[in-house]
Structure 1
Amino acid sequence: MFKISKWLHKYVGLLLLLFLMWMSATGVLLNHPDLISGISVPGGLIPSRYHLRNWNRGALINLLFSEQHPDTGFAGGRQGVWITKDGGRTFAPLQNGFPESRYYRKTQTLFYLESDSPRLFAGTGGGLYACRTDTEHWEAVPLGKDREQVRKILRIRDRVVVFTRSHVYASPLSPEETDFQPIPFSRDEDRPTVSLLKTLFGLHDGSLWGLPGKLLSDAAGVILFFLSISACYIWYYPKGVRRRRKAGAAAKTRAKALFRFCFRYHLRLGIWTAAILLIIAGTGLFMRPPLVAVIVGKSLPATWYTGGRTDNPWHDKIRNALYDPVADTVVVQASDGVWTGPSDFSRPFVRTRLPVPIFAMGALVFDACDTGGYRVGSFSGLYHLERETGRVTDMTTGRPGHRATAFRPGRCMATGYFRTPGGEAFVNDYRTGLLPLGDARFQGRFNMPPEMTTGFRMSLWNYLFEIHNGRFFAEFIGNWHILIIPLGSILFLLLLISGTYDWLYVKVFRRKFQSR
């Protein structure tokens, strides 16, 4: 058994060398987005499937038009904010004062406040920004103490309300100044829960135990990188010695000392970090399809999740929100379901079931329709829900909504929806880009600005994330890339188990046998 385990550890380890090196290096950097948020990768180093075409890949999430000047519109998405002054025929970047970091400039929501001095609000990954459209200059709008990712900006009666991932802020609807203050925001639930997916992610990156846990995960990642390098040298060194002996040359003293160093600390560091590496490998198995489908929708008691524990029941859960003026209610789409409450937030929100499939990543389109009902779009498709009857219609086909799932992308992966001043409707699909609905026609409008293609760059964090989850390699191996993470995790578990057994056999079992 020891011989089999030793053989497995050696050859599985050699097979996984590159895999473990890129996973450990990218994992450590992904754990600290603030450190790399200002770095981006040029388009020449990015596979062609990531390059933008027809506003795809979330380049367009919002497009708002002015009511007073219908030819003026504002587009927002993962590449920032753009302005058109000719009805959508051309777009120019609106970046003066906007975050320079491509990681933080990703814009989830826009809100246009028209007055004598109109202002545009943008909710980004780096917080809330406001722009006076006469000067086209952005300024940061303070919310809480820390930088918060803004998910939705709504007008609710006489207030502008901002939803971040954890909080809600409101300001009087003033044409001159805004003063956003937090709103008490509770919900009615007997047993608070946390999603199983979030728990496993917290185990995987260490955030389950807060900052100490993340630092421990970082240390394990650095050690894993050393284990990979040292394993390569431990395997190579004896071969080099044999070649030198055949050539009649003596072994190099430095090389021998390096071999001893690598061998000693490969054993020590490997056994010291075996437990945490087993956790990282085991949870990584559920981070990507197909096994992620097993845990989607499952939950655990909130007391089980120790990382970043807070009294706020919405902590890191809010994904989108809408205001229903007919019922005078607010509907919040969160990572643990849909919640409904009064527009003045005076009573706790209650859990609500919407008969609409929402992909596991959340709804990117979530609005109240003028005709009544809700418009809900995610990677599961774009749907219209009649609030009174519960009837669901697929807006891309006009047919009744099909039985889509929360973990399998639909035919239309909706990332955005908008209507022109003339009433034409368009949906933005993550894969193919902007598509007309019904009788809508492009007519030379809504061409992607050349700045998006000629100067295309990707934030380093997103670049490393695509490498870490294996999607980066779809350019080279096609749909087989989906097997990289599950197969790599299984082999990594086998590597850790065999290495632990080998160490125990040599240090414990064999000594006991010899003493007998």
Structure 2
Amino acid sequence: MNKRTLRKQHKWIGIGITFFILMFCVSGILLNHRSLIKNVDISRKFLPNNYKYENWNGGLLRGTLALDNKVLLYGNGGIWETDSAASFFADFNKGLPKGADNQQIRNVIKTDNGKIMAVSPFALYRYGEHEAWHEVELPLADDEKLTDIASHGDTLVVLSRSYAYISLHPYINFKRIQLNTPKDYKERVSLFRTVWLLHSGELFGVTGRLAVDIIAVILVLLCITGVVFAIRPKQKTLLRLSLKLHDKIGRYTIAFTLLIVLTGWCLRPPVMIALAINKIPAIPGTILQSDNPWNDKLRMIRYDEAMHDWLVSTSEGFYSLNLNKGTMDQIASTPPVSVMGLNVLQKDIKGRWYCGSFSGLFVWDRQRGTATDYFTHKPAPKKPGAPFGKKAIAGMSQDFVYDSSNGKCNRVTVIADYYNGSKYIAQPHSMSILPMSLWNVALEIHSGRFFIGSIATYVFIFVMGILAAWCLWSGYSIRIAKRKSKRISQ
């Protein structure tokens, strides 16, 4: 390719993607510092229409808990009180911290002794005095996220992404337990997660995140100086300064900027699929190297009355947990689960498990070792679940009923798709503009969904990554070729 063509491509591709690169950089910095913006929300009325909740989509309905005379519905919009006919909805968030990020509820349960407990990624709550939620202190490590809660008898188990927290009634003091190493364990981690953490810098802790923030600032400078040079301002000093900065910053940081662009490109299909199904040894000296075999791998937990054990969903598959010994035994013949993790794990009236994720919804009979697709009734695939299936299951409820023509009350299974929701129960219009956390808005911008919707998952980042990488490389090639020409002429 001749130098003139290369210059044109560098210029016009660069101008064309500048806005999006700036958005990626700003949103990336916000994503890297969630704790600093956790209480900042943006009303959905200021966001594109596809971000308004409709028919319980977007994870607004994750699950329900049936009590004596009411039903608690929970999900990404907090907790709401209703009845079995969904005839009304009342706010049930009193006592929870303000902020949409804090009110992303993962599970609500009632213990055998009548305590109502709820868990979000950031805290455990007990419902009680003054008819409000009260935070329960846990011995959490820094930045440790909670994933689920379950109880059996007097035992309450709170699951984080790496540990189990155990308490007995009245659930005041919790003991952190590291689950035992399973049989045939090999210290291998997901290649997808490795690339993810490398892209954010978190692979190397706080230092790595700050380093990636600096690279984002560098990309912003490259965008600004490139645009200034392209529009050719009359002020020659500004023009020369922009070219000089663009040249030197671009050449000296090319390895780092390309690394960030390429790792981000890999985190969406089609490359994402290959990364998700492969594992590598943990890189020494990174946060992935841990003495805990379950570091960042635990997802959901339930007590299985039929099998008399604790059923644990992990990023490595399903396991049977003996809580007294802390042992974890892998379970064979399980349903496929998306790499994004389970969203639904409930029993049906026959004692089978509903397992729902972005890979679909499957009915799993543990005792028989069979799993079938809920919608097609065909045997479930034996391979691990794809990141995104035909149905992206975000939530489910079996606690609503409706009156049939013969006057009998029939129970209805409400299945909420992440994108399309569910029309079985009417969603109050007021919920459509519930606030969205700034962190989640930044995530939507960073993924490209903010600009072109869900299709961005498959197209936007793939195209933008190629264009950004070519723009960086072509600029570097132009300057290197120019420097070589100067040396030869001398």
State the TM-score, normalized to the length of structure 2.
Answer: 0.90
Aligned residue in 1 for 2:474:
498
* One of 349, 352, 358 as aligned partner of 2:337: 358
Change over 3 Å in CA distance of 1:460–1:480 after alignment to 2: closer
The one-letter code sitting in structure 2 at the alignment partner of 1:428 is A
Aligned residue in 1 for 2:193:
198
Change over 3 Å in CA distance of 1:367–1:304 after alignment to 2: farther
Aligned residue in 2 for 1:489:
465
Residue 138 of structure 2 corresponds to residue 139 of structure 1: no
**For 1:444-499, what per-residue CA distance to the aligned partner results, in whole angstroms no more than 9, with x for missing partners?**
xx43234312x422111111211111112235xx8477322111111111112122
Runs of 5+ unmatched residues, structure 1: 242-254, 436-441
Change over 3 Å in CA distance of 1:408–1:312 after alignment to 2: closer
Residue 263 of structure 2 corresponds to residue 287 of structure 1: no
Mapping of 1:336-347 within 5 angstroms? 336-344=316-324, 346-347=325-326
SS of corresponding position for 2:459: helix
Mapping of 1:60-209 within 5 angstroms? 60-66=61-67, 69=68, 71-84=69-82, 88-113=86-111, 115=113, 118-132=114-128, 135-145=130-140, 146=142, 148-174=144-170, 177-188=171-182, 189-209=184-204
Instruction: Give me the CA root mean square deviation.
Output: 2.5
The one-letter code sitting in structure 1 at the alignment partner of 2:366 is R
Aligned residue in 2 for 1:371:
350
Aligned residue in 2 for 1:268:
248
How many residue pairs end up in the alignment?
A: 478
**For 1:269-305, what per-residue CA distance to the aligned partner results, in whole angstroms no more than 9, with x for missing partners?**
2222211111111112211122212222111112457
| Stretch moving more, 268-277 or 480-489 | 480-489
SS of corresponding position for 2:130: coil
**For 1:418-448, what per-residue CA distance to the aligned partner results, in whole angstroms no more than 9, with x for missing partners?**
222875432222222236xxxxxx5xxx432
The one-letter code sitting in structure 1 at the alignment partner of 2:216 is G
Aligned residue in 1 for 2:406:
none
Give yes or no for contact 1:129–1:139 (8 Å, CA) kept in 2: yes
Aligned residue in 2 for 1:319:
299
The one-letter code sitting in structure 2 at the alignment partner of 1:187 is T
Aligned residue in 1 for 2:408:
none
Q: Post-superposition shift, 1:337?
A: 2.8
The one-letter code sitting in structure 2 at the alignment partner of 1:58 is G
Alpha-carbon distance between aligned partners in 1 of 2:134 and 2:202, rounded to the nearest angstrom: 32
Runs of 5+ unmatched residues, structure 2: 402-410
Larger Rg: 1
Aligned residue in 1 for 2:40:
39
Alpha-carbon distance between aligned partners in 2 of 1:353 and 1:227, rounded to the nearest angstrom: 52
**For 1:62-106, what per-residue CA distance to the aligned partner results, in whole angstroms no more than 9, with x for missing partners?**
20112xx2x222111000111225753212111222021111210
Aligned residue in 1 for 2:436:
458
Q: Post-superposition shift, 1:233?
A: 0.5
Alpha-carbon distance between aligned partners in 1 of 2:110 and 2:327, rounded to the nearest angstrom: 29
Alpha-carbon distance between aligned partners in 2 of 1:304 and 1:352, rounded to the nearest angstrom: 30
Aligned residue in 2 for 1:235:
230
Alpha-carbon distance between aligned partners in 2 of 1:157 and 1:113, rounded to the nearest angstrom: 8
